[in-house]
Chain A
Amino acid sequence: MKKDWPLWEVFIRSKHGLSHKHVGSIHATDAEMAITNARDVYTRRNEGASIWVVPSASIVSSAPGDKEILFDPSEDKIYRHPTFYEIPSDVENL
């Protein structure tokens, strides 16, 4: 069995002004081929204005088990949201 070509994660910017969004992955021997393949596989219907490809092996992600440690602390800080504050209804532009 021969080894697969390296795996790349593909991110597409759909329209100018929006950030790149992960769409899937592709195999390619190098970055240039990764861009070309990503174009063919993920933008056949005018979905793209820009493509990023990143070697999958370079992506570092948080562990599912750390979800609580990482994200729970922000849950009780409701004062970070504008709806926390009571403003008299006759005050405008606030």
Chain B
Amino acid sequence: MYSQNVDTGVDRKSDRASMSPEEAAFQDRVDQDITIEPRDWMPELYRKTLIRQISQHAHSEIVGMLPEGNWITRAPSLRRKLILLAKVQDEAGHGLYLYSAAETLGVDRQELLDALHSGKAKYSSIFNYPTLTWADIGAIGWLVDGAAIMNQIPLCRCSFGPYARAMVRVCKEESFHQRQGFEILLELCRGTEDQKRMAQDAMNRWWWPSLMMFGPADGDSVHTQQSMAWKIKRHTNDELRQRFVDQTVPQAQHLGLTVPDPDLRYNEETGHWDYGEIDWDEFWNVVKGNGPCNRERLRARRQAYEDGAWVREAAQAHAEKRAARRAAA
């Protein structure tokens, strides 16, 4: 999940009494789990919220290629290199499915890219952290993609058809990402002392940013209620975060890694793992553009886009030339 704190344009859920007849009919359809398709009537705020969320999600997939791309040339074996190449290519694919879903809402691809490159649009805070060692590639697959799957599975039942369908494709492919990451860490944890230390170091640096991926705590998430009423969101941030912790702690134990949280303990009463306080100052700082790699990521994206300009122009000129020849023949 690669979208955090998506603005719904309202700070609380709209109540039925204040709805127009169209809005009430729309809400009835959503309540009955009837999928909304691009040409159906929808409230303007629903449309705008979806454009924001789907594009933020798409941008995250695309920017998410950068920290992993950093290790393609330095993967420790040909096998790992092939896997990492395939994974990064998948992320590009996921970005494209999502841009395509956003476009069904009447926005141009170019507008979305411009918003990313100008810094106006957000992407997930997680990709503003650096990948310092090979173990980070394992941690990204296991923790970051694990957290993403937790959020994306409910999105397969999102009220907006094109987004839900894109998520079905993404979820099918994401499972390989998480498993290859776990396997990288498993290999390091079974290796030398230095390799194990490297795995633990990656765990220490990625654990908390992964928990932050689920977005602000429920009490501070002003947009959650409206998004849930529209069934764009199916669970609150804290619900999904808790599920992620419950699922991941036993996996960490299997690897023999320590979760860097002194307050982490199993709660016999609730059957859940209680975890410590998240550093929300760090979260908001990264969201506002001051994380370790925010500037670097945007610079790399803009550079890639500018470097590709001549290719786009040449392809356009080639297509026009061929069309002109066909017309003349």
Contact = CB atoms under 8 A, between A and B. Distances in A.
Nearest to A27: B109
Interface residues of B, number: 30
Contacts of B39: 61, 63-64
A70 interface: no
Contacts of B319: 29-30, 33
Interface string A20-51: 00011111011001000000111011000000
A7 interface: yes
B114 interface: yes
Given A25-B103, A30-B319, A30-B323, A1 B110 contact: yes
Given A25-B103, A45-B173, A64 B37 contact: yes
B315 A1 contact: no
B212 interface: no
B88 to A, nearest CB: 12
Given A1-B114, A4-B110, A29 B93 contact: no
B322 interface: yes
A77 interface: no
Interface in B98-146: 100-101, 103, 108-111, 114
A41 B96 contact: yes
Contact of A44 (B90, B101, B111, B165): B90
20 contacts: A3-B110, A4-B108, A4-B109, A4-B110, A5-B316, A23-B169, A24-B100, A24-B101, A24-B165, A25-B100, A25-B103, A29-B315, A29-B319, A33-B319, A40-B93, A42-B93, A44-B89, A45-B173, A64-B37, A64-B39
